[in-house]
Structure 1
Amino acid sequence: MSAEQTVEGLARELSSYLDSSRVNQVRRAYYYAEQAHEGQKRRSGEPYVTHPLAVASILADLRLDHQSLMAAMLHDVIEDTGIPKEALSDQFGESVADLVDGVSKLTQIEFRSRAEAQAENFQKMTLAMARDIRVILVKLADRLHNMRTLGPLPFAKRQRIATETLDIYAPIANRLGMHSICTELEDLGFSSLYPMRSRYISKAVAKLRGSHQEIIQEIRGRLEEKLAERGLPGRIMGREKHLNSIYNKMKFKQKSFHEIMDVYAFRIITDTEDDCYRILGAVHSLYKPLPGRFKDYIAMPKANGYQSLHTTLFGMHVNIEIQIRTEEMEHIANNGIAAHWMYKNDQSNIISVNQKRVDRWVKGLMEMRERADDSLEFIEHVKVDLFPDEIYVFTPKGKIMELPSGATPIDFAYAIHTDIGNASVACRINRNLASLSQPLQSGQTVEIITAPGARPNPAWLGFVVTGKARSSIRHVLKHQKRTESLELGKTLLKKSLNGFGQKLGDIKDAQIEAVVRHNQVQSFDDLLSEIGLGNRMAYLVARQLVSGAGSDNQDTGADLEQGGDGYRRAPVTIRGTEGLLVRFAQCCKPIPGDPVVGVMDFGNGMLIHSDTCERLPESDEARSRLTHLKWAKDITDEFSVELRVELERQRGVIAEVASAVAKADGNIERINVEEQNARLGIVSLVVHVNGRRHLARVMRRIRNIRAVTHISRIRH
């Protein structure tokens, strides 16, 4: 081993920020691990102890505390050498033993499948993080060194570890704000899974960087000149684009390699917060800022403590992305939550406002763990805390779905698959039936119940938040409306033709074509669709078909009345489940068994009213346009009816009413109690029934309650 890979090399590095007694404790942990792992080799043939030493070195780069470094040295001792936790506790203290035990437990988690890994094991990891966040920091460093040394492993094992890294460990590093570790894990995982793609992108980046060197140098030079001119301190760094990030943008955002690489990225690191804003003013005076692309994460830091100013400028015929931050913000941005331990031994004892923010965040994690009844509740809190603009919910198989805040089960269903969204009829949230419009919360498990033949409801457009759900629903509804308007139009036209003693099959093609031309539509289907939508009268089209196109130019009220009479002899049969274009009026709430008529609603199909509804037109001409309907015999669907119940007020009477409805197989949709006086009350309730007979049964049950004095059906 070279001097840099020895414990003494590490000790020299540690002495830059740890006192000698703590450095000695880390050294002692190394010698203990060396003895425990004696005789064990890595796949590469090196002594096993080189691995824990390398893990400790990664954490030393993060300037982590001595206990984390000791745990790094000892992290495989419990699992690989049979030494119990108690022995470590005696030797190194309880905190270090707990850390080692936590890391061992995480290592024992078997990610059998991606779905299982994402749900159950993410919970375990989050819980370990909540008890002591350093457990996950040691585990991430362990995984990073394993990824750096994957080479000697068999192909299948390399693939499994790389997949697990991209699915589990890189996202956790990202959530903790540890940008440096996250990007290295992603790039190592990507090059292991896709070596050819990785090499290709890597070569393309190197080639492009060479050809763009002049532009990069010129932009950097101008930025440096501007800072010097204004007397502002700042070092300017070029920002590298990472291979995995380039690949994902090409794959998921459908961007070309050159589109991604045509953005020039720089980071300016300065001394104080005040300097950040001064530098922002300076760069905006040099190049034009792009509107809507400025973000102030200094005034409003991200939940994990990240702070920086982001702006995008347009200059030199290219876009220039610039991040401006202080040295301390740079530490936080690269090392995230690990920065919590960075300055603990700094003699100046300066802990910035941002440092306190990270302290509070970690403390908040601990408190949430104590308050949460179970891991799911805890995850919900952590996720909301980390990502206020996103929610994370689980599928029943444990896959994590990321959705925007305010998303509903319908958004979730479409996120899984368009067909599942289209066929959704109900959902379970954490195994309990719930409304499809209910906004989801992070940590919930959502199950969508589908039914063959089910179709999207237009009301869904009122609450979905994702673009995918909205466009899918609109697409299906458009198609559905067309299909239904065709069917309804054909039914209404056939009934009107019956009134003239004709059948649609008897009408000659030439006559149909003439009527289509006369009505100035593209096809006969379009004409049928117009009838179904209520834009044309079936009776008039029927008369044109029977007597020849154009003969209806001098229509009179008498003609309409006569046509109407013919039409009344053949009422249209309805089932009540026709879909978008046959709807029930809310004013009279008709149910199967009620005499009903249809009113064609311009552009929206047919609205069904009870034939005694006060809102029906009174003139003879308008009445002649009503479509007389009859109910199909075997209707099983539920319809809502409003009832008014007058009763004497006494304890438990509302429960009696609800029980009576249930005994008659009715469902209460809504119940409202109005106080008339101290002795009497009025209850209005909306009940679901499947027809007049069922309604009579429900009303009889309610009437039999002793306290009920009167019951009636409300028709507004």
Structure 2
Amino acid sequence: MYPADDLVELIRAYNPKSNSDLIRRAYDFGRDMHDGQFRHSGEPYFTHPIEVSQILAEQHLDDATIITALLHDTIEDTKASYSAVEEMFGNEVAMLVDGVTKLTNLQLSSTETKQAENFRKLFMAMSKDLRVILVKLADRLHNMRTIRAMRPEKQQVKARETMDIYAPLAGRMGMQWMRDELEDLAFKVLNPEGRASIMRRFITLQKETGDVIGRITDDMRYELEKAEIDAKVVGRAKKPYSIWRKMQEKEQGFSRLSDIYGFRIITANENDCYRVLGAIHQRWRAVPGRFKDYISQPKTNGYRSIHTTVSGRDGKRVEVQIRTQQMHDVAETGVAAHWSYKDGVRGENPFAVDPVKWISSLTEQFNAEDDHDEFLEAVKLEMYSDQVFCFTPKGDVVKLPRGATPLDFAYAIHTRIGNACVGAKVDHLRVPLWTRIKNGQSVEIITAEGQMPQATWLDIATTGKAKSAIRRALREVDRDRFIRLGRELARAGFENLGKKATDRVLDLAATQLRLKDRNELLARMGSAELTAHEVVQAVYPDLAPDVSEGIASERAVIGLSPEQRFQRAPCCEPLPGERIIGITYRGEGVVVHAIDCDALSNYEDQPERWIDLHWQAGQHQSIYGVTLELTIGNDAGVLGRICTLIGEHKANISDLEFVDRKPDFYRLHINAELRDAEHLHSLMLALQAESDVAQVERLRDPSKARQSAKPQP
């Protein structure tokens, strides 16, 4: 176990003013609290907090962060309490330890809704004190370094969580070294064969070409000495996962991948950065489109550097990063540079970003999100983004993720401008809205009064902020449409009983169903979340028709043994009145197909699985869904009339999906719940008779035959 004195010396090396006694006390307290606890590897548990504190000490962080690392599992896993930690080590440390404890309890890889909510909590914790996430990242790094002691299934969960959440978060915070290591450790678990393959190819390449890194490093040093520039040159091969990702993105094999080496040049001052760039470009040919100047346009996390890619020795592409020592310190520690010490003095690095401003800019756009999935998508989009810098016509700089479009630019300026966008000019030339913006371009947004976001914009926008704003606007438009459609459905439903769907009746139904108001009720009816029958029954429970009348679903099919269950095949959706065949599944019952279903050809060589079935004679319930594909005119009120017509034919709409929207027509899929084949025939005849319906067909999808679904009782 790493002794307390060694940890103290490691910290005092960069911070002689460190409170060594307090650190020793924290060490002793943590060791005593974890006494008798062991890790999966069999080591004493306290070796883990020590290793986490070492990782943070190597980043030259302050005493409070180091002490938090030593104590970060005490409140959760031992008898220690918040008040005890606060009494011994102060309020600042107690709050940090409590924050790390709460983060540990977040299951970030759980279901989408819960994951989104936990992401919110993660960002809230970060906004209070960013050091909480620094400790958590170091905690995850050590756990990944020792992950082999865990069960294989647990390794997979942790590695995926690391790849999806913690590695991008480290990169977003500017801690690129940590992101690289986290990704590589997760890659080793998730795809050990892929990583081993790249490592083998690296070894083979080194045997064939020798020390390429050493030769290129010497060449660069020679050019810099010739230009009388004092700078340090460091070369490295890129991490296996970084190479794997490039292979996937470019769809190239290892042998065709050229830029697998990276070089870093550290200069004495900013002017020398540009002198180095000139010397490198004079000696080697620059690769077009691979130059980025993050010194004049720094990233939001404070990162500054010049990036260029050149064709080096033997035509091999190499990436070169040029920066000063201060810029390098921020590049290594990112936002954490705000708390770092050097020679006993809190870092006064002019390039270190204010963590409060940084986290505010990161979380601001997520606060308005009500929808869990949208929040999660926005977070992940922003976490994985790289940046481009473009300009407004007035010369103001706008930072956007790589691949951003003029729509993203418009929403970055203001939601109102984004919603009213009708076109864009890039470098004074009119361009389509799906154009990808490049570094340094000037973008002008053309707006028009009355313009509203289009559904197709969701495919054009790339930023979380733009997508969220578009969805909000579309929801408002859809809400009005759903309310109008719901009113038509309610009118038809109540008229079937000889009643009227007055505002008073709808208000009463909303109250009975515990909804906010009648508009909420109508919107839910229009979006098929509520059926007209449910609304009618809420107001007139004695008058509403009993939908349970008719043959019960469990008695609908004849030919099954008593213990067998059945389910209608989703590929052909057979209805009572149609000839049917059953296909048996071991332990899952029987799937019922229409006799003419194309999917039955898959079972021709398995006759023992076929069962001759037929529907029970008599009146069936209207519970059998059939998908209809309709092409209807794009005119006001058409959809409402279609839905009313379906309701009048005693069919319930269980789902409605637009599959194509054109200026003059809509194509949509409607899933209607019907009694039998005769019911379907009469409904399709009625729809075909409508002048606004250009085409109506029963939709059958053979591909759904491959979907695994357990039969219902």
* CA shift in 2, pair 1:375/1:12, >3 Å: farther
Shift in alpha-carbon separation, 1:78–1:246, aligned structure 2, 3 A = same
Q: Which residue of 2 aligns with 1:337?
A: 335
CA displacement at 1:214 relative to structure 2: 4.5
Counterpart Cα distance in 2 of 1:95 and 1:168: 27
Could you tell me which residue of structure 2 aligns to residue 219 of structure 1? 216
Check the 8 A contact 1:114/1:167 in 2, yes or no: no
**2:173 is the alignment partner of 1:176:** yes
Residues 1:170 and 1:264: Cα distance change in structure 2 (over 3 Å): closer
Q: What is the match of residue 436 of structure 1?
A: 455
Report the counterpart of residue 106 of structure 1 in structure 2: 103
In 2, distance between residues paired with 1:385 and 1:273? Answer: 29
> Does the 8 Å contact 1:11/1:27 carry over to 2?
yes
> Is the partner of 1:324 in helix, strand or coil?
strand
- Long gaps (5+) in structure 1: 391-400, 410-432, 452-574, 585-605, 609-631, 639-716
Could you tell me which residue of structure 1 aligns to residue 230 of structure 2? 233
- Quote the residue 2:304 is aligned against: 307
Deviation of 1:267 after TM superposition, in Å, equals 1.2
| Alpha-carbon distance change, 371 to 270 in structure 1, aligned in 2, over 3 angstroms | closer
| Pairwise CA distance, 1:276 | 0.8
Query: Alpha-carbon deviation of 1:635?
Result: 2.7
Match of 1:635 among 691, 696, 710: 691
Once residues 277 and 402 of structure 1 are traced to their aligned partners in structure 2, the CA distance between those partners, rounded to angstroms, is 24
Give the direction of change, closer, same or farther, for the CA distance of 1:387–1:183 in structure 2 (3 Å limit): closer
Q: Output aligned runs, 1:407-418, within 5 Å.
A: none
The 3-state SS of whatever aligns with 1:190 is helix
Let me know the Cα RMSD of the aligned residues. Answer: 3.9
Selected match of 2:316 from 305, 315, 318: 318
Residue aligning to 2:356: 362
Tell me which moved more, 434-443 or 213-222.
434-443
| SS, match of residue 221 in structure 2 | helix
How big is the shift at 1:51? 0.6
2: CA distance, partners of 1:222 / 1:146: 40
CA distance in 2, matches of 1:58, 1:94: 23
Match of 1:40 in 2: 37
What is the CA-CA distance between 1:223 and the residue it aligns to?
A: 1.2
TM-superposition CA deviations, 1:660-700 (whole Å, max 9, x none): xxxxxxxxxxxxxxxxxxxxxxxxxxxxxxxxxxxxxxxxx
CA deviation after TM superposition for structure 1 residue 339, in Å? 1.4
Deviation digits for residues 531-563 of structure 1 (CA, Å, limit 9, x no counterpart): xxxxxxxxxxxxxxxxxxxxxxxxxxxxxxxxx
Deviation, structure 1 residue 98: 0.8
Distance in 2, matches of 1:370 and 1:182, equals 24
Aligned partner (choices 64, 67, 70) of residue 67 of structure 2? 70
Once the two structures are superposed, residues 290-313 of structure 1 have per-residue CA deviations (whole angstroms, 9 ceiling, x without a partner) of 233221111111111111111122
CA distance in structure 1 between the aligned counterparts of 2:231 and 2:387, rounded to whole angstroms: 32
Distance 1:105 1:287 in 2: 52
Contact kept, 8 Å, 1:123 with 1:376, in 2: the verdict is no
Secondary structure, counterpart of 2:104 in structure 1: helix
Equivalent in the alignment of 1:163? 160
CA offsets, 1:240-283, max 9 Å, x none?
Answer: 21111222222343121122255542111121111111111111
- State the Cα deviation string for residues 335-387 of structure 1 (Å, max 9, x = none): 2111121247654x7724312xx02x533535887998667699979987995
Residue 348 of structure 2 corresponds to residue 351 of structure 1: yes
Q: How does 1:135-214 map to 2 (within 5 A)?
A: 135-214=132-211
Task: Confirm whether residue 60 of structure 1 aligns to residue 79 of structure 2.
Answer: no
CA positional deviation for 1:315 = 3.8
Shift of 1:435: 4.1
For 1:200, the aligned partner's letter is S
2:183, 2:61 → 1: CA distance? Answer: 22
SS in 2 for 1:321: strand
Distance in 2 between residues matched to 1:196 and 1:388, nearest whole Å: 28
- Distance in 1 between residues matched to 2:237 and 2:260, nearest whole Å: 11
Instruction: Give the match's secondary structure for 2:252.
Output: coil
Q: Secondary structure at the match of 1:278?
A: helix
Q: Size of the alignment, in residue pairs?
A: 428
2:147 partner SS:
coil
Unaligned runs of 5+ in 2: 389-400, 412-417, 419-451, 479-629, 637-662, 666-687, 695-713
- Partners of 1:404 and 1:370 lie apart in 2 by 19
| Structure 1 residues 70 and 205, CA gap change in structure 2 (3 angstroms) | same
**Percent identity over paired residues:** 38
Deviation of 1:215 (Å): 4.0
Q: When the two structures are superposed, what TM-score results if normalisation uses the length of structure 1? A: 0.54
Is the Cα contact below 8 Å between 2:16 and 2:344 reproduced in 1? no
Larger Rg: 1
- Alignment of structure 1 residues 690-701 onto 2, 5 Å: none
Letter matched to residue 323 of structure 1: Q
Spell out, residue by residue over 1:598-636, the C-alpha distance to the aligned partner (whole angstroms, 9 max, x if none): xxxxxxxx999xxxxxxxxxxxxxxxxxxxxxxx96234
For residues 32 and 161 of structure 1, the distance between their equivalents in structure 2, rounded to whole angstroms, comes to 29
The answer to whether the 8 A contact 2:267-2:322 is kept is yes
Residues 502-581 of structure 1 mapped to structure 2, 5 A cutoff: 577=632
Contact between 1:18 and 1:66, CA under 8 Å: does it hold in 2? no
Q: Report if the CA contact (8 A) 1:85-1:101 is conserved.
A: yes
Aligned pairs (5 A) from 1:433-472: 435-436=454-455, 442=464
Q: 1:250–1:256: 8 Å Cα contact kept in structure 2?
A: yes
C-alpha distance 128-374 of structure 1, shift in aligned 2 (>3 A)? farther
Helix, strand or coil at the partner of 1:304: coil
Distance (Å, rounded) in 2 between the aligned partners of 1:296 and 1:264: 20
Partner residue in 1 for 2:603: none
Match of 2:325 among 324, 327, 338: 327
Distance in 2, matches of 1:335 and 1:271, equals 19
Which residue among 241, 244, 247 is the counterpart of 1:244?
241
Offset of 1:318 from its aligned partner? 2.4
1:206 Cα deviation from its structure 2 partner: 2.5
Letter in 2 for 1:329: M
Q: Deviations over 1:7-58 (max 9, x none)?
A: 2111111001223552322221111101111111111121111110000000
The alignment partner of 1:142 has SS state of helix
1:253 corresponds to 2:237 = no
- Tell me, in whole angstroms, the C-alpha distance in 1 between the residues paired with 2:84 and 2:403: 46
> Which residue of the other structure, out of 254, 264, 269, is the alignment partner of 2:266?
269
Per-residue deviation, residues 98-133 of structure 1 (Å, max 9, x unmatched): 111111111111245363575222222111111110
Per-residue displacement from partner, 1:71-111 (whole Å, max 9, x unpaired)? 10000001101322121111111111111111111111124
Q: Is the 8 A contact 1:288 1:313 kept in 2?
A: yes
Whole-angstrom CA distance in 1 between matches of 2:195 and 2:86: 44
Q: Please tell me whether residue 90 in structure 1 is matched to residue 96 in structure 2.
A: no
Paired AA for residue 334 in structure 2: G
Q: Are positions 1:23 and 2:20 aligned together?
A: yes
CA distance in 2: counterparts of 1:22 and 1:168, whole angstroms: 34
The amino acid of 2:356's aligned partner reads V
Q: Residue 172 of structure 2 contacts residue 384 of structure 2 at CA under 8 Å; is this kept in 1?
A: yes
Deviation per residue, 1:188-214 (Å, 9 max, x gap)? 111112222222221222221343335
The separation in 1 between residues aligned to 2:75 and 2:253, in whole angstroms, is: 49
CA 212–153 in structure 1, closer or farther in 2 if over 3 Å, else same: same
CA contact (8 A) 2:230 2:267 kept: yes
* Post-superposition CA distance 1:514-536 (Å, at most 9, x none): xxxxxxxxxxxxxxxxxxxxxxx
What is the alpha-carbon distance in structure 2 between the residues aligned to residue 192 and residue 228 of structure 1? 44
Does structure 1 conserve the Cα–Cα contact (< 8 Å) formed by 2:15 and 2:342? no
Q: TM-score, normalised by structure 2?
A: 0.54
